[in-house]
């Protein structure tokens, strides 16, 4: 049976072309399962998965939980509020205690970039956790690999094979983990990626990653097959990066005026939550060109694929393997 080359899903960088192909084809299989009247399969019935959310989430948390239940895993949920974190316990101690209850996989959302990488490095020291698999569900401003995988899967469903296609990521590139994971994944899949944002919301030197940079949304929209509209990460802004939400919408928001002028209209993606009237006009979010709710639907199938592939591995292994 084909397997992933990595033991955790911490980011996109470690994925090989074969891994990406395997993830996409397995997602398609689970997508078909989800169209059946009985959407549940027994694949992970011997596994226990803990969802550890140290940061707010609606879609990602529910999507992971549903994916785990569709795979028949036992599921436990943890959120930072109401936990012993407020009593001074470290992340490593919290996770190690959870793993001592014989948990096989950890889905981790955390506000610190690299939180999952840190855990993967340190857990093998503990006898209970040697084989635990870690999935990054968003680590601060760093990466959000399952979001990128579901975005790529959704793009494939709408556009066909992605090599040679043009996709723009628009908005708060500086603080968005969705942007970095998308950039890395789409480029590996042969997509021409364009970033469109005010200079204040672009990381310095980002063009070195081989992406095209634009400061004009009108020009970008004319060039691309798809546009992924990112939310301004208000919760991560510590200085003001643009004069006002109105000004941002006028220059970088996808509004009706801009849209009507377009001859060729791209498909519209958004990872959610949408700030209607800021990055995207509500009417466009609900329009025929928007695949925002398809992304949500595909998200469950993609997360089933990730959990299944890593879960199978943890059964087959006998030794301690950490990348
Ligand atoms: C994204 C996130 O949390 O990084 N949302 C999500 O996972 N669906 C994007 C965002 O919050 O803007």
Q: pLDDT tens-digit profile of 65-75?
A: 999 999 999 99
Question: Residue 161 pairs with which residues in a beta bridge?
Answer: none
Residue 109 CA: nearest ligand 1 atom is 3
pLDDT at residue number 160? 98
- Cα(207)–Cα(173) distance, rounded to whole angstroms? 12
pLDDT at residue number 317? 44
Report how far ligand 1's centroid is from the alpha carbon of 46 (Å): 30
Q: For ligand 1, say whether the CB of 178 is within 6 Å of any of its atoms.
A: yes
Contact indicator for 185, 159 with CB cutoff of 8 Å: no
| 3 state SS of 95 | helix
- Cα(104)–Cα(147) distance, rounded to whole angstroms? 22
Contacts of 288 (CB under 8 A, 6+ apart): none
Residue 178 CA: nearest ligand 1 atom is 4
> What domains are defined for the chain?
17-143+299-311 (3.40.50.1370), 145-296 (3.40.50.1370)
Matching residue, tokens 């708060």? 172
- Cα(91)–Cα(23) distance, rounded to whole angstroms? 29
Residue 291 has pLDDT above 50, yes or no: yes
Structure tokens at 8: 């955790």
Report how far ligand 1's centroid is from the alpha carbon of 7 (Å): 24
Report how far ligand 1's centroid is from the alpha carbon of 138 (Å): 8
Report how far ligand 1's centroid is from the alpha carbon of 233 (Å): 9
| 3 state SS of 77 | strand
The residue-averaged pLDDT of 82-95 equals 81
Structure tokens at 219: 């020009």
Report how far ligand 1's centroid is from the alpha carbon of 140 (Å): 10
Q: For ligand 1, say whether the CB of 60 is within 6 Å of any of its atoms.
A: yes
Q: For ligand 1, say whether the CB of 138 is within 6 Å of any of its atoms.
A: yes
Report how far ligand 1's centroid is from the alpha carbon of 112 (Å): 15
Q: For ligand 1, say whether the CB of 271 is within 6 Å of any of its atoms.
A: yes
Structure tokens at 2: 């084909």
**Residue 7: how many other CB atoms lie within 10 Å:** 21
**For all residues of the chain together, what is the average pLDDT?**
93
The residue-averaged pLDDT of 1-5 equals 93
pLDDT digits (tens, 9 = 90+) for 226-250: 999 999 987 877 777 787 888 899 9
Residue 55 CA: nearest ligand 1 atom is 3
Question: Residue 199 pairs with which residues in a beta bridge?
Answer: none
Report how far ligand 1's centroid is from the alpha carbon of 66 (Å): 18
Q: How, if at all, do strands 48-53 and 74-79 pair?
A: parallel
Spatial strand order of the sheet with 105-110 comes to 74-79, 48-53, 105-110, 133-139
Residue 271 CA: nearest ligand 1 atom is 8
C-alpha 231: how far from chain center:
14
Report how far ligand 1's centroid is from the alpha carbon of 268 (Å): 16
pLDDT digits (tens, 9 = 90+) for 130-180: 789 999 999 999 999 999 999 999 999 999 999 999 999 999 999 999 999
C-alpha 313: how far from chain center:
22
Structure tokens at 236: 């991560």
Tell which one of 63, 65, 116, 144 to mutate to probe ligand 1, the residue whose CB is within 8 A of the most ligand atoms.
144
pLDDT class for 315, splitting at 50, 70, 90?
low
Residue located nearest, by CA, to atom 12 of ligand 1: 231
């Amino acid at each position: 049976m084909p397997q992933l080359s990595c033991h955790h899903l911490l980011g996109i960088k470690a994925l090989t072309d074969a891994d990406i192909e395997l993830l996409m084809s397995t997602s398609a299989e689970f997508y078909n399962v989800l169209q059946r009247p009985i959407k549940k399969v027994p694949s992970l019935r011997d596994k226990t998965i803990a969802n550890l959310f140290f940061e707010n989430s609606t879609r990602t948390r529910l999507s992971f939980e549903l994916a785990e239940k569709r795979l028949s895993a036992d599921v436990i949920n943890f959120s930072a509020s109401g936990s012993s974190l407020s009593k001074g316990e470290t992340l490593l101690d919290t996770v190690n205690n959870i793993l001592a209850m014989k948990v096989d996989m950890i889905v981790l959302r955390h506000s610190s970039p690299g939180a999952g990488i840190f855990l993967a490095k340190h857990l093998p020291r503990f006898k209970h956790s040697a084989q635990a698999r870690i999935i990054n569900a968003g680590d601060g401003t760093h990466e959000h690999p399952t979001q990128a995988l579901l975005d790529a899967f959704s793009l494939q469903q709408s556009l066909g094979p992605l090599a040679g296609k043009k996709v723009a990521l628009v908005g708060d590139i500086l603080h968005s983990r969705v942007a970095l994971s998308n950039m890395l994944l789409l480029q590996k899949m042969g997509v021409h990626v364009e970033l469109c944002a005010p200079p204040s919301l672009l990381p310095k030197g980002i063009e070195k990653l081989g992406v095209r940079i634009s400061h004009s949304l009108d020009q970008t929209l004319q060039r691309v097959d798809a546009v992924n509209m990112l939310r301004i990460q208000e919760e991560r802004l510590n200085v003001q990066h643009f004069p006002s939400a109105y000004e941002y919408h006028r220059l970088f928001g996808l509004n009706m005026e801009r849209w009507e002028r377009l001859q060729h209209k791209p498909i519209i993606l958004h990872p959610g939550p949408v700030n209607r009237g800021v990055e995207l006009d509500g009417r466009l979010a609900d329009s025929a060109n928007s695949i925002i709710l398809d992304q949500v639907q595909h998200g469950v199938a993609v997360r089933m694929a990730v959990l299944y592939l890593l879960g199978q591995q943890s059964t087959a292994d006998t030794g301690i393997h950490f990348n």
